[in-house]
Structure 1
Amino acid sequence: YDPKYGARPLRKTIQRLLEDPLSDMILSGSVKDKIAVSADYQDNRVTFDFL
């Protein structure tokens, strides 16, 4: 959260680190028949587990 800009920077970070990569995976067909996803942040990167 940024007092000057509110939650906009946080929203853009969530989109860049979570939504965009997940969208790319779904559109490319690499995610099939999965109903849940878990995201983790380790070693300066986001990893996804599909359940």
Structure 2
Amino acid sequence: MDLDLNKTQLQEQSSISAATMAKLGKGENVTNEMLARICETLERHCRHLLSCA
């Protein structure tokens, strides 16, 4: 499934900082709150894609 969402869009739509995205890219620790925001954003995109199918 292609979400058609780049890192910058994910960052903006999840309301997380560039520093948090950098940490994720380096495999460093981030808070559960930040992970939850990312999951919510991805879930919205998946629901949208499935409703369009």
TM-score, reference length from structure 1? 0.37
Bigger helix share: 2
TM-score, reference length from structure 2? 0.36
Higher RCO (C-alpha 8 Å, min separation 6): 2
Bigger strand share: 1
